[in-house]
A and B are shown apart, each in its own frame.
Chain A
């Protein structure tokens, strides 16, 4: 996508700031629930409404989630970190300051391994820090957007929900890498179970800092691009922004430090505001809170309790099951690794399982408009299906059909096969008769085979398959046809 940039001699430099809304039961600094939806201002208390005199108390669960994510990313947990106040006025922020972390975040450093079609690269993690979410404003008026609204209505249900902000180094060089980074980070967050990480619903949010430069020259001024709510829109927004900046510089213009808004419908970014100087947030340590100094024993306990992470799982799949990196990437991207592992554990040959998943399951899900991982396919069902292929009961083509019925809830693979009479015909005498009919009916094709064009047999095999509604064992058919045509 950024080939335009590289072709023009420009290099994109991209860093991502990802906010992860934690799935703790309660808010960052008070006991209000973090549930989604429902009526406005029903999950609030003096603390998250910023009522005079109220005070914050840190949610231990949020600290735990932050440490686990930091460790999963290979970072260091700060022996002592603190909360700062970030001061600015905005009506969805109850205290007109956000409690966040500033010079010493809870976790620093680490790296994320990112695989794209161009290979694997490492993206440095700058920091993971804790902060509180803001409320939500509804803009009344024609557009529903802030511009042109007559007035706004504020709901503080979301105010105070814990967020982790994950900041990457500016190590990303293309839209594709950015997408892979976000996908990988999301997979880690999901593996840790610390957030439902739904970009579409805002429980995971991604801002991109994008600049361009010619290699060897200093980095250009960056634009912070906001409002991408899917992996796809992240890619589109970055590609657009890189092209825009390259075109601007090539035309003799200068990129200025600014915040830009991605408009998914228009497929373009537009200026939200120009940062003439850095905002003056008047950060200072929050005097209502005390230092966070996790005991080493707690950190080690959390480290020991980390689940196997996506990269390790992928490496293991390649090593143990001889899958290709591409196959693993496809499985991972579709969230099908757990089903694959269950199927293999249930006796499925890895190659059959991966083929069914990467070809048929993903295609079927796409036809039905589902996320593949959301299909109710179990590893046991998949293993049963591959077993039916292995023992010759089903052709791979029929296996896909059976899969469709299984996913439609019409029974287990065996039940579907029995119900629909789909067992593969391997009976030589039955198939021999059909082969003879096909040779007679397609004399031209048969003659070509006899003349030595062995590839021409494909048409005849296809005809047999059609005649048996796909139930014939293609290997047996091929053998029977060749016997007949060689003999003559």
Chain B
């Protein structure tokens, strides 16, 4: 497993990390080594072994459809880095709206 700088940059874009060139170059061999080490999971586990997400096999955990008091508006907004008119303010959004809700 050997990652290129471009591989590292691609992953950083997915992860929304604005890595510096130095970081990319430092991470490249580190990630390669760690992933090479981690690849040994492929040595033992075969497809007929079911994956385990939780060791304690809980299922069907639900809440009843009963309302609970929300946070008071002031508390909901208390952590906002920027707010306006009771809403969280963010800079211009460039990316097309993935959720299809705009315009």
Contacts and interface: CB of A to CB of B under 8 A. Distances in A.
Are chains A and B touching directly in their complex (CB below 8 angstroms)?
yes
B93 A146 contact: yes
A285 to B, nearest CB: 5
B85 interface: yes
A292 B99 contact: no
13 contacts: A25-B67, A44-B71, A57-B62, A58-B63, A60-B64, A90-B98, A93-B99, A152-B89, A152-B93, A272-B96, A287-B53, A290-B59, A293-B59
A390 B66 CA distance: 52
A57 B63 contact: yes
Given A60-B62, A154-B90, A32 B68 contact: yes
A58 B96 contact: no
B58 interface: yes
A291 interface: yes
Nearest to A150: B92
A139 interface: yes
Interface string A123-148: 00000000000101111000001110
Interface of A: 24-26, 30-33, 39-46, 49, 51, 57-63, 80, 82, 88-93, 96, 134, 136-139, 145-147, 149-156, 202, 205, 207, 226-227, 259, 261, 272-273, 279-280, 282, 285, 287, 289-295
Contacts of A92: 99, 101
Given A57-B62, A59-B62, A261 B103 contact: yes
Contacts of A88: 98
Q: Is the interface of A mostly helix, strand, loop or mixed?
A: loop
Interface of B: 14, 16, 53-54, 58-68, 70-71, 73, 76-77, 79, 84-93, 95-103
A256 to B, nearest CB: 15
Nearest first, the 4 closest Cβ-Cβ pairs linking A and B are A31-B68, A61-B65, A153-B87, A60-B62
A58 B61 CA distance: 7
B101 A137 contact: yes
Given A145-B103, A153-B89, A42 B63 contact: no
A168 B91 CA distance: 37
B61 A26 contact: no
Given A90-B98, A139-B102, A291-B60, A26 B54 contact: no
Nearest to B74: A41
Given A31-B68, A44-B70, A153-B87, A227 B93 contact: no
Contacts of B73: 39, 41-42
Contacts of B62: 57-60, 63
Nearest to B100: A226
Which of B53, B61, B62, B65 has its CB near the most chain A CB atoms (within 10 A)? B65
A151 B61 contact: no
B87 A138 contact: yes
B70 A273 contact: no
Contacts of B54: 287, 290
B102 A137 contact: yes
A62 B59 contact: no
A57 B61 contact: yes
A304 to B, nearest CB: 20
A227 B103 contact: yes
A404 B42 CA distance: 76
Nearest to A140: B84
Contacts of A26: 63, 65-68
Contacts of A202: 101
